[in-house]
Structure 1
Amino acid sequence: MSKTVEFFFDLGSPASYLAHTQLPDLCRDAGAELVYRPMLLGAVFQATGNASPAMILAKGRYMLRDLARFAERYGVPMRFNPHFPINTLTLMRLLVAVQLHQPERFDDALQALFQAIWVEGIHMGDPTKVAEVLTAAGFDAQALQAQIAEPAVKDALKASTEEAVKRGVFGAPTCFVDGEMFFGQDRLDFVREALRD
C-alpha cells in the first residue's frame, strides 16, 4: 500500500506556497498520495503561542532572503506579497468549500489562489479581487461566496485546525508521513526519505 503525505497549510504562508510547488511531483515520483489539509494558521499561532517570523525584524529580513533562495533553487516564480500579513479566514473557507463541493477542481482553486498571492502580489483581503481571481479560474465566485457561510465548511476548517494543533503542528507548512511530523518547506528532503522507508 502506498504512503500518504498529509500537507497542513495556509495560503497566507509563503513557505506553504513553496512547498506546494514541490510536493505534487515529489509525491508522484514516490508513488505516494498527497492529501491537502487546509488549516487556519492564525488559530494555530494563537493556540501554540507561536507567531510569524516576519513579525521579528531581523528574522523577517532573513526569511525574505531565504524564501527567495528557495524559489530560485526550485525554479519557481515568487513575489513577497506587499499586503502581508494576510487574513486568510475567507480564503481558507473558500478552499474547504471547493474541497467539499467540487473536489475535482481543488487543485485549480489552490493554484489560482497561491498564484494570486505569492506570484502576482494581489491584495486578496479585497473581496472584489478574490472574486476576479476565482472568475478568471473558471469558478462561480458568487456561489463560492455563499458556500463559505455553510456550517459544514466552517466546521471542517475548524476541525482540521484543531486536529493540527493536537498533532503538534505549530506553523505552516507541516507534513506528516506515517505519523512523523516535518515542519517547513525546507524539510522536504526528509519527507522524500520517509516515503522511501
Structure 2
Amino acid sequence: MSKTVEFFFDLGSPATYLAHTQLPKICKQTDSQLIYRPMLLGGIFKATGNVSPITVPAKGRYMFQDLDRYAKRYGVPLKFNPNFPINTLMLMRAVTGMQLHHPERFQAFIDCLFHALWVEGCSLDDPATVAAVLTQNGFDPNEVLALTADEAVKATLKENTEEAVQRGVFGAPSMFVGDQLFFGQDRLDFVLEALRTQ
C-alpha cells in the first residue's frame, strides 16, 4: 500500500471531526493508508497569523451552518459545542502519547474524544469531564494524564506542529497526498481525486 494521506489534525476543530468521519472511507475506496499527524492548532495559528473563524461573528455563524449541512450530507451527528473554542493542549498531548505508546488503542481513543466534543458537546477543557469520558470508554485517566507530562510526547507534538507550518499548514484539517496540501473537510473530493491518480 504505497498511497497515503497524512492527516494533520486537532480535536478542537469541528471541521476536523467531519473529516475524521470520512477519511477512513476514502482510504478504503482507494486502498490508501491514513496517517494521523496530531498537531496543536493554537501553535499553527500563532506561527501563521491565522485565527479561528469564530472570531468573526458572521463568519462563525455561517461556518457552523455550513458544517451542519455537511454533517447531514455525510449522515453523521454534529452538535455545536457550547464550550468552543476549546484549549486542546492537554488533549493533543494525550492523543500524541497514545499514538506513541499505545498505538493499538489510538483509534478508539480519538474516536471517543471526537464523539465527546462534537456529538455530546462535552467540556473537554475540564479535567473532571475528561476523566469521566475516558473512564466511560475504558481508558485509565491517570495513565493518560501521565502521558501528557512525558517529555518525548511534548517534543513530538511540538515537532509535528512545526513540521506542519514548514509544509504550509495554516489551519485544520489539513491533508497531504504526496506534496499536495488540501485544507478543509470541504476539500475531501480533491483528496479522493488525488489518491485515485497517485
Q: d(CA) in 1 for partners of 2:136 and 2:192?
A: 34
Q: For residue 39 of structure 2, what is the aligned residue in structure 1?
A: 39
- Backbone CA RMSD of aligned residues: 0.6
Q: d(CA) in 2 for partners of 1:157 and 1:134?
A: 21
Q: For residue 111 of structure 2, what is the aligned residue in structure 1?
A: 111
Within the alignment, does 1:14 sit opposite 2:34 as a pair? no
* Offset of residue 2 of structure 1: 2.5
- Residues 37-186 of structure 1 correspond to what in structure 2 (within 5 A)? 37-186=37-186
Gaps of 5+ in 2: none
Residue-pair matches, total: 197
Q: d(CA) in 2 for partners of 1:158 and 1:2?
A: 27
* Offset of residue 144 of structure 1: 1.1
Q: Deviations over 1:39-61 (max 9, x none)?
A: 00001000000000111011111
One-letter amino acid of the counterpart of residue 113, structure 2: L
Secondary structure of the equivalent of 1:83?
coil
TM-score norm. by structure 1 comes to: 0.99
Gaps of 5+ in 1: none
* Offset of residue 136 of structure 1: 1.2
Q: d(CA) in 1 for partners of 2:30 and 2:138?
A: 31
One-letter amino acid of the counterpart of residue 12, structure 1: G
**Where do 4+ consecutive residues of structure 1 move more than 6 Å?**
none
Q: Deviations over 1:1-51 (max 9, x none)?
A: 521000001000000000000001110111000000000000100000000
Report sequence identity in percent. Answer: 63
Q: d(CA) in 2 for partners of 1:30 and 1:17?
A: 21
Q: Deviations over 1:160-196 (max 9, x none)?
A: 0000000000000000001100000000000000001
